[in-house]
């Protein structure tokens, strides 16, 4: 596990989405505040192709399996549906067999990859500066499977064929993105953003089963691992975190400002996760107007109190201090730019306060 050598000790990084209209503006904020763990900015305000839902699905769009970037749907009723599926699986097999051009088609579209390309071009021009790692991200299979439907609004997640194509697409995109970022010579943290996982175990989602959820995540994680990346999952709500602890995920990013209790209840499995080299990524800076009421000192106190409580419950203090990252509680893409800037400033200051100790 790469984390055996990587001890982030409250290194701050972002979740992904930013409210800016250009990659350059977003990157200026990123490099100013999280220069040791910069991430590429996802820019949803640029339009549907840069949105959470379709940004990572270029191969499905190109083969016609999914149409309409604004309200994407699987085209199961199309008269040539079998041909479209065949085209997708042919492309998938070519990509898994080492065809670089085929793998490239699982990357971003020209419009959807503006923030990613701006990040890569910046790294090519200016180098990695003092960065210790580079961070990428993509959307997760459950969240997308619940949002993308057929024309009758049936969730694609519950159709085995549709879910299989979705998971395979995300796995190869994650592999492509990790491979691209690895070229810059630093460790790559690749996060799967899957907020829909909060539904596991809830009475409103009783049909969600543990084993398939872990299997789908592991399929994507394996794509990241094949390229030497560090795989993680971000969920900005409370959930049964043992689902992630029992997967091949190496980093768990949670909302530590509003949902700390969900992690407190799982101190024993959290400790086992840390013992095997896992990293806990604290989403400690709230991504809503409450952030205006916070300071680095107040967030540090909150962190220290939460760590002390976890230690009381049996978590190894040395491990949790060595194996912790800091992030905002969620992406900042829906915020006003001024609030997003404040969130990143708080994140940077809190990281300095924790690391200086």
Q: Is residue 101 part of a domain?
A: no
| pLDDT value for 186 | 98
| pLDDT value for 205 | 66
Is 303 exposed, middle or buried, given 0-12, 13-18 or 19+ CB atoms closer than 10 A?
A: buried
Q: Is residue 197 part of a domain?
A: yes
Percent of the chain whose predicted confidence (pLDDT) is above 70: 97
Locus of tokens 């200051």: 349
* Helical residues (DSSP H) of the chain, grouped into ranges: 23-33, 58-62, 81-96, 100-104, 114-126, 141-147, 160-182, 210-226, 242-245, 260-264, 267-275, 296-312, 317-322, 337-356
Q: Is residue 94 part of a domain?
A: no
Total number of domains in the chain = 1
Measured distance CA(255)–CA(329) in Å, rounded? 5
Residues 103 and 176: beta-carbon distance below 8 Å? yes
Which CATH number covers residue 262? 3.20.20.210
Please provide residue 227's backbone torsions phi and psi, each rounded to the nearest 5 degrees: -100, 10
Helices and strands, number each (H, E), in the chain = 14, 9
* Predicted TM-score (pTM) above 0.85: yes
| pLDDT value for 6 | 79
| pLDDT value for 185 | 98
Range of the domain at 313: 2-46+115-356
Q: Is residue 18 part of a domain?
A: yes
Q: Is residue 135 part of a domain?
A: yes
pLDDT by 10s per residue, the chain, length 357: 444 467 999 999 999 999 999 999 999 999 999 999 999 999 999 999 999 999 999 999 999 999 999 999 999 999 999 999 999 999 999 999 999 999 999 999 989 999 999 999 999 999 999 999 999 999 999 999 999 998 788 899 999 999 999 999 999 999 999 999 999 999 999 999 999 999 886 656 668 999 999 999 999 999 999 999 999 999 999 999 999 999 999 999 999 999 999 999 999 999 999 999 999 999 999 999 999 999 999 999 999 999 999 999 999 999 999 999 999 999 999 999 999 999 999 999 999 999 987
């Amino acid at each position: 596990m790469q984390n055996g050598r990587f001890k982030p000790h409250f290194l701050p990084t972002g979740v992904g989405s930013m409210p800016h209209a250009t990659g350059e503006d977003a990157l200026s904020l990123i490099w100013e505040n999280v220069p040791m763990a910069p991430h590429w900015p996802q820019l949803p305000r640029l339009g549907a192709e840069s949105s959470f839902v379709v940004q990572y699905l270029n191969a499905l769009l190109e083969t016609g399996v999914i149409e309409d970037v604004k309200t994407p749907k699987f085209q199961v009723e199309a008269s040539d549906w079998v041909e479209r599926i065949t085209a997708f699986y042919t492309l998938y097999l070519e990509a898994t067999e080492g065809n670089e051009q085929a793998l490239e088609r699982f990357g971003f579209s020209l419009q959807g990859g503006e923030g990613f390309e701006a990040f890569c071009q910046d790294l090519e021009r200016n180098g990695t500066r003092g960065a210790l790692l580079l961070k990428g991200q993509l959307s997760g299979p459950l969240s997308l499977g619940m949002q993308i439907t057929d024309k009758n609004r049936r969730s694609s997640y519950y159709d085995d064929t549709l879910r299989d194509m979705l998971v395979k697409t995300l796995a190869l995109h994650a592999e492509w993105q990790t491979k691209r970022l690895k070229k810059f010579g630093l460790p790559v943290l690749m996060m799967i953003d899957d907020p829909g996982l909060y539904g596991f175990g809830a009475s409103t989602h009783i049909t969600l089963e543990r084993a398939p959820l872990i299997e789908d995540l592991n399929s994507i994680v394996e794509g990241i691992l094949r390229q030497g990346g560090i795989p993680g999952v971000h969920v900005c709500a409370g959930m049964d975190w043992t689902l992630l602890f029992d997967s091949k995920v190496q980093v768990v990013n949670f909302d530590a400002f509003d949902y700390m209790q969900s992690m407190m209840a799982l101190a024993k499995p959290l400790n086992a996760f840390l013992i095997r080299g896992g990293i806990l990524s604290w989403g400690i800076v709230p991504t809503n107007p409450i952030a205006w009421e916070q300071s680095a000192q107040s967030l540090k106190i909150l962190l220290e109190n939460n760590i002390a409580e976890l230690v009381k419950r049996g978590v190894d203090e040395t491990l949790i201090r060595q194996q912790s990252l800091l992030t905002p509680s969620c992406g900042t893409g829906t915020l006003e730019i001024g609030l997003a800037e404040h969130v990143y400033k708080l994140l940077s200051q809190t990281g300095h306060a924790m690391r200086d100790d």
